[in-house]
Amino acid sequence: MARKSEITLKNFFIFNSNLATEEGEEEKKILFYHPQDTDKDQKIKDVGLSEAIIKFTNTFNPFEECKSFRTQKTCQVYFEPEPDFWMVMTINVPFLVKLKDGMEYNEYRGDDVHDSIYGALLEQSYSMFRLFVGTFGENFLGDSLEEQSENLSQKFLQFFIYSTIRHFFKKIYVVKRRFPSNN
């Protein structure tokens, strides 16, 4: 009997590459990261990989931004709501645990994850943030870069953790009911 995993949110983060130009300052780029208890080095790796994918794809088509990137196990969705501010969501691809020759293996179900729907969720999240809090740029206030980043990070924390992330999981449930996977 095959067991099936669910679509889950691996991480969600917002970064601005212009906030750190020196080697060793990579953490300054990260304005928001969920889950918060993720190791600092992992956060830096995740943001660095996203930056690299975005820059690499931009060399082939500078007029159209990268919207998503898939691996066997994850789907990463990108959205640039304002110049240099990127919102990134990584979704764990669901899988079936199957048995073959007495050994269990995972059969990943990449077609169950709809990039365009998760891209729309990112866009809606930004629209709601902008409606209730203002643009990222308007909230980037303070006397120093650190103060500006911290102020914006706090706004993200208040808004996304307490509203959008909670509703995100409700929307995943709706998406799964509307687009059931074929087992």
Domains and CATH numbers, the chain: 3-170 (3.30.450.70)
Pull the structure tokens for residue 117. Answer: 């729907």
Pull the structure tokens for residue 95. Answer: 């899988």
The partner residues of 85 in beta bridges, in order of sequence, read: 16, 82
Each residue's pLDDT tens digit, 152-175: 888 888 887 666 555 665 665 555
Output the pLDDT for position 130: 92
* Mean pLDDT for the stretch of residues 83-112: 91
Q: What is the Cβ-side half-sphere exposure of residue 72, based on CA atoms within 13 angstroms?
A: 5
Output the pLDDT for position 172: 59
Res 129 pLDDT > 60: yes
Each residue's pLDDT tens digit, 69-95: 999 999 999 999 999 999 999 999 999
Output the pLDDT for position 69: 94
Q: How far apart are CA 11 and CA 22, in angstroms?
A: 25
* Mean pLDDT for the stretch of residues 122-139: 90
The one-letter amino acid code at 56 reads F
Output the pLDDT for position 142: 78
Output the pLDDT for position 89: 96
* Mean pLDDT for the stretch of residues 143-155: 83
Each residue's pLDDT tens digit, 1-45: 568 888 999 999 999 988 887 888 888 899 989 888 999 999 999
Give the single-character DSSP code of 6: P
Give the start-end residues of each E strand in 37-159.
Answer: 68-70, 74-82, 85-92, 95-100, 103-108
**pTM for this structure?**
0.82
